[in-house]
């Protein structure tokens, strides 16, 4: 039979109220008494049923998700996953608030983080911009006892509880290996196309890509990266300008969004002049482009897994419990025309 709080109280020679205060980390217990209760917990092998305790107390977890609002198919899909979680939240004793901020707007993100802190939720999840003022705002949340999860793009340092996203350096290295191998025997430079190098995930993808190209394909010229701001029209213009300046452009690695514009630019080229294209996120647009042989491979991350992981971690942090690290690891999927789900 599992030990109960009654067993702990009897073993430690204290009241049930004292046991409750110790288990919940509340003040009003002498250190010698707290130690006696903790020793009883260890001796009896007591494991607290946090879910049952929270249900008995009628606890509701409050979480805030801060998401970039722009014309980005992946981010739209990410928001849809959070909305779905919010719809089922009440049945899972959660209340999820969604806050939209302009993409790549550091000031707006900081303001949203400060506003979230004022509401004192149990946890905050957000797509990070790796800037000093954002890190400071995240550290203020942690200091206030609010769990912080970065989604998709991480922060430098330790200004968060957990990161729910892929290993972006590994993703960039994977893209570099695919690009180098797909271009075997074909001359010409490769264009790296970012959304914004303000965000850590794009910088890390470029870092991994550049490292592999230097290590494994040193003869291949890599152009200076350009930033499309995750905007299709801007990405289209950037690709057109690169094609005009480099008639032998043979590859493009797009590690941001705005890929509708990239695909439009590629579609206008004669088939024999089309570069090898590796990009991120399997969407309706990139799926059709794969099928039409306009692009060559898509690196994908599961937005639903990221949102579910963020919620599990925020809940665990609120309860003071641990997570299963393997369950929270977000994998990198590689899709070609021939293995589309």
Q: Is the pLDDT of residue 45 over 90?
A: no
Q: Does 341 reside within a domain?
A: no
**The model's pTM:** 0.82
Question: Tokens 């993808």 belong to which residue?
Answer: 205
Same domain, yes or no: 284 and 243: yes
Q: Is the pLDDT of residue 53 over 60?
A: no
Angle at 272 between CA 268 and CA 273, to 5 degrees: 55
Same domain, yes or no: 209 and 272: yes
Local confidence band at 248 (pLDDT 50, 70, 90 cut-offs): very high
Range of the domain at 257: 168-300
Task: Specify the CATH number for the domain of residue 13.
Answer: 1.10.260.40
Same domain, yes or no: 204 and 292: yes
Report the mean per-residue pLDDT for the chain. Answer: 92
Same domain, yes or no: 185 and 296: yes
Nearest CA to 106 out of 199, 168, 195, 194 is that of 199
Same domain, yes or no: 194 and 78: no
Kindly give, in sequence order, each residue whose CB lies less than 8 Å from that of residue 57, ignoring residues fewer than 6 positions away.
none
Q: What is the model's pLDDT at position 259? A: 96
Same domain, yes or no: 64 and 152: yes
Q: What is the rounded CA–CA span in Å between residue 288 and residue 282?
A: 10
Query: What is the per-residue pLDDT across 102-116, written as a single tens digit (0 to 9) for each?
Result: 999 999 999 999 999
Asked whether the CA dihedral 340, 277, 201, 62 is positive or negative, the reply is negative
Same domain, yes or no: 65 and 133: yes
Same domain, yes or no: 296 and 243: yes
Q: What is the model's pLDDT at position 27? A: 73
Same domain, yes or no: 286 and 177: yes
Q: Is the pLDDT of residue 123 over 90?
A: yes
Whole-angstrom CA distances from 267 to 121, 180, 215, 258, 294 are 47, 22, 32, 15, 7
Same domain, yes or no: 178 and 159: no
Contact (Cβ atoms closer than 8 angstroms) between residue 313 and residue 287: no
Q: Which of 18-27, 90-99, 157-166 has the lowest mean pLDDT?
A: 18-27
Number of domains composing the chain: 3
Nearest CA to 151 out of 71, 69, 75 is that of 75
Local confidence band at 156 (pLDDT 50, 70, 90 cut-offs): confident
Task: Tell me which DSSP letter residue 327 carries.
Answer: H
Question: Tokens 């250190």 belong to which residue?
Answer: 31
* DSSP code string of 207-218: HHHHHHHHHH-T
Q: Does 336 reside within a domain?
A: no
Kindly give, in sequence order, each residue whose CB lies less than 8 Å from that of residue 211, ignoring residues fewer than 6 positions away.
172, 173, 176
Contact (Cβ atoms closer than 8 angstroms) between residue 106 and residue 134: yes
Q: What is the rounded CA–CA span in Å between residue 315 and residue 93?
A: 11
Local confidence band at 232 (pLDDT 50, 70, 90 cut-offs): very high
């Amino acid at each position: 039979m599992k030990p109960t709080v009654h067993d702990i109280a009897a073993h430690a020679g204290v009241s049930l109220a004292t046991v409750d205060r110790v288990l919940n980390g509340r003040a009003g217990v002498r250190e010698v008494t707290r130690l006696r209760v903790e020793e009883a917990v260890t001796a009896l092998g007591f494991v607290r049923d946090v879910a049952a305790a929270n249900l008995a107390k009628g606890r509701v977890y409050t979480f805030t998700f801060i998401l970039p609002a722009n014309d980005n198919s992946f981010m739209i899909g990410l928001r849809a996953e959070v909305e779905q979680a919010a719809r089922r939240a009440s049945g899972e004793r959660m209340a999820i608030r969604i806050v939209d901020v302009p993409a790549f707007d550091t000031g707006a993100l900081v303001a949203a983080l400060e506003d979230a802190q004022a509401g004192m939720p149990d946890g905050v999840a957000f797509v990070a911009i790796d800037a000093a003022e954002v890190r400071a705002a995240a550290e203020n949340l942690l200091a206030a006892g609010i769990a912080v999860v970065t989604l998709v793009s991480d922060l430098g340092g330790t200004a968060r509880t957990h990161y729910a996203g892929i290993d972006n350096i590994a993703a960039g290295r994977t893209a570099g290996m695919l690009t180098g191998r797909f271009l075997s025997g074909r001359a010409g430079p490769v264009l790296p196309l970012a959304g914004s190098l303000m965000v850590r995930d794009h910088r890390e993808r470029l870092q991994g890509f550049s490292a592999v190209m230097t290590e494994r394909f040193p003869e291949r010229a890599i152009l200076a990266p350009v930033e499309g701001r995750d905007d299709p029209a801007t990405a289209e213009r950037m690709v057109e300008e690169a094609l005009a300046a480099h008639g032998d452009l043979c590859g493009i690695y797009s590690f941001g969004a705005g890929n509708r514009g990239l695909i439009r630019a590629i579609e206008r080229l004669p088939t024999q002049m089309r570069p090898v294209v590796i990009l991120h996120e399997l969407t309706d647009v990139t799926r059709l482009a794969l099928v039409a042989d306009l692009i060559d491979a898509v690196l994908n991350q599961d937005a639903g897994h990221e949102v579910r992981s963020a919620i599990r971690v925020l809940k665990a942090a609120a309860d003071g419990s641990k997570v299963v690290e393997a369950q929270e690891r977000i994998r990198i999927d590689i899709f070609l025309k021939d293995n589309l789900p």
